[in-house]
Amino acid sequence: QKIQALSGKDKNIDSLIQLVGRIPGDANETATFMTTLANLFLQKMQTIIDDGYGNSEKEGKKRQEIYETMFIGKIKKEKGKKRVVCDVPLFFDISDWPRFSCRVADPSMGKLVGAHLPAGQQAGVQGISALEGVRKVLHLGPYPDPTLPAVGIAYLFSMNENIPCHDRYRLIGSKIFPSSRDAVEAAHGALRWCVAEERKGKTWQGVPNAKREQDLLIAYLEEKPENAIELASVFAAPDVKESETDEAAYESKTRTACDALRGEPGLNDSSQVNVFVISKVDPGRAQVVLSSAFSIKNIIQSVKEWRTAANNRPIFSLWLPPIKKGEKMLHVEPMCPSPTNVMKSFQNQWIKNGLDKRDVPGVALRHVYDLFLGDAMIAQQTASNFLSLSLQRIGELLVGYSGADHTSDAIKVEVIKKYSPDTRKVVLHGISILAIALYKLGIKKEVYMKNSAFNVGRMLALADKLHCEYCINVRGKNDSDEEKRKSIPAQLIGNALMRTALDNPLKGLSLLSERLLIYQAWATKAQGEKIGLAKWILGQMGRVSSDLENADIPKQADDAVKAQIVLGYLAHIKNEG
């Protein structure tokens, strides 16, 4: 009766009025109706789940998890106590909902109903709502405590009444921050809607924080929050299918999301996407640690530039294990990293040529967004910081892995096994981060790959290769791969001088020219089928020497120069060997 009384007051609540009118009023009829509805719901859910999952053991576990989540609940821990929480929202709606301007399940429906209820039906304590600044019926008692993905149980407003200092001014709970009943219900409903499981990747996604824990990212179009565009996947790492890599999934999702934003009716370049991140700062509190808004134009342009910037690098690739057992090894190049990939890359300090690491606090997500989505000035400042931090934390790994990569193809696979697949992924991300930072600083590959700094790195890499060929052909006892591997020292000549060159490029190159004489002399005089690669290396050294002949080689290197030396040292040459 209360809902029917709202008829004609607002066309946006007509769908709810229609729904109420279709539910029987008689108690016996209602019981039969609800039983029939429940059976139909269970049958439909079973059909959907069965159609969506196969018969394998893995698929069966997924199916079971869905049933448990929806109908039984999950055990949650709070303050050392366990409780079963079944908080999957179930909305009734009408089958002909497209005819109406607002769906029953729309987050705004609760607020619309509250705004039109007669005053007598909104009985309660009136006061000024701190959220809205107007006099309304206030929410009394504790604020709602929804269970959020990644974060767990979180109070909309938390003030523990058992802590004496909180009651200093004789105010506790909702009295400290009085809000209207409508505002609290709307905020609670909107939050639960945003984090519904079916909206993962669209309006929410888990993101790592600097403490290696998970935060909750929420992103939505301000004008059309109910859209199906996977916006959250633009600002974090999307879920990955078995048949693709993290980076490939991110490139695909961002491209699809940008295309959808361009084609979404009713939007323009200034339409806003709101983004905020909720973090569990302690067992009793969750806080918003990032809150920002980006225009559609900014997002589309930034995604395009991010992909271009990630490709601001020389040729490079490495081998990774196959995604599925029995398949071939993957030959992978650096790709466009997600903000999550960037954050994770800074969570370790790599040491001992990248063979060991130490856990360190990572970077904040907001700094990654400054690099990704910030204006030119902010992006440049952030790029300088990221360049410095990349060299400090990942530089040792990049140099160490490159030294292993410069060994002969016949033994390279065994040598690089010292670096785990996850470590090799950090190498790929590290290269992309250096490329992006240089791009944001206005240093493009078309120019820097001809610079002296890049060629210093190239010369050191060629020195490694020549040293390796010398060891295999002169020190190796026979042609077996085992003997070839034993003949190679722990550190090749170019790798040994990389630290010197990063500090003083001119000195590093000068020392290299002295130590390289014996290997150059051997490669010049040696003959036979097995020294073809050595002869090719000499030819490449001649080209690099020619480029360096009249170049201004610095005695000191800033971070941009160091990054170019590292990228030159990492670079693969087309048609190498």
- The predicted-structure confidence for 480-508, as pLDDT tens digits, reads as follows 667 777 788 889 999 999 999 999 999 99
pLDDT at 179 over 80: yes
Mean local confidence (pLDDT), 189-218: 91
Beta bridge partners of 204: 200, 218
| Range in 159-173, 370-384, 466-480 with the lowest mean pLDDT | 159-173
Q: Which tokens go with 157?
A: 């407003």
Q: Which pLDDT score is estimated for 477? A: 61
What is the per-residue pLDDT across 389-432, written as a single tens digit (0 to 9) for each? 999 999 999 999 999 999 887 778 788 889 999 999 999 999 99
What is the per-residue pLDDT across 206-215, written as a single tens digit (0 to 9) for each? 999 888 889 9
pLDDT at 462 over 80: yes
Residue 305 banded pLDDT, cuts 50, 70, 90: very high
pLDDT at 18 over 60: yes
| Three-point CA angle 510, 511, 513, nearest 5° | 65
Higher per-residue pLDDT: 114 or 211: 211
Measured in degrees and rounded to the nearest 5, phi and psi for residue 166 equal -70, -20
Q: Which pLDDT score is estimated for 563? A: 98
What is the per-residue pLDDT across 320-330, written as a single tens digit (0 to 9) for each? 888 777 778 88
Q: What is the CA radius of gyration of the chain?
A: 31
- The most confident of the ranges 131-140, 176-185, 343-352, 465-474 is 343-352
| Range in 104-113, 207-216, 365-374, 476-485 with the lowest mean pLDDT | 476-485
Q: Which pLDDT score is estimated for 346? A: 95
Q: Which pLDDT score is estimated for 573? A: 83
Instruction: In whole angstroms, give the CA distance from residue 340 to residue 207.
Output: 6
Instruction: In whole angstroms, give the CA distance from residue 394 to residue 426.
Output: 8
Instruction: In whole angstroms, give the CA distance from residue 556 to residue 52.
Output: 60
Q: Which pLDDT score is estimated for 94? A: 83
Instruction: In whole angstroms, give the CA distance from residue 246 to residue 428.
Output: 12
Instruction: In whole angstroms, give the CA distance from residue 341 to residue 559.
Output: 22
pLDDT at 541 over 60: yes
Q: Which tokens go with 212?
A: 């290696």
pLDDT at 285 over 50: yes
Between the CA atoms of 383, 389, 391 and 397, what dihedral angle is there, to the nearest 10 degrees? Answer: -120
SS (H, E, C) 108-155: CHHHHHHHHCCHHHHCCCEEECCCCCCEEEECCCCCCCCEECCCEECC
Distance of CA 119 to the CA centre of its chain: 48
Q: Which pLDDT score is estimated for 558? A: 96
Q: Which pLDDT score is estimated for 577? A: 44
What is the per-residue pLDDT across 65-91, written as a single tens digit (0 to 9) for each? 777 877 777 777 665 677 777 777 777
| Range in 57-61, 369-373, 425-429 with the lowest mean pLDDT | 57-61
Mean local confidence (pLDDT), 354-382: 94
Cβ atoms of 275 and 217 closer than 8 Å: yes
Mean local confidence (pLDDT), 311-317: 96
Mean local confidence (pLDDT), 324-341: 87
Question: pTM of this prediction?
Answer: 0.77
- The most confident of the ranges 40-54, 114-128, 285-299 is 285-299
Task: Give domain limits for the chain.
Answer: 4-117, 126-194, 196-311, 445-570
Instruction: In whole angstroms, give the CA distance from residue 233 to residue 202.
Output: 7
Mean pLDDT rounded to a whole number for the chain: 87
Higher per-residue pLDDT: 561 or 45: 561
Exposure string (b/e) for 223-244, b if CB count within 10 Å is 16 or more? eebebebbbbbbbbbbeeeeee
Mean local confidence (pLDDT), 514-518: 94
Mean local confidence (pLDDT), 110-120: 64
pLDDT at 120 over 50: no
Q: Which pLDDT score is estimated for 374? A: 93
pLDDT at 371 over 80: yes
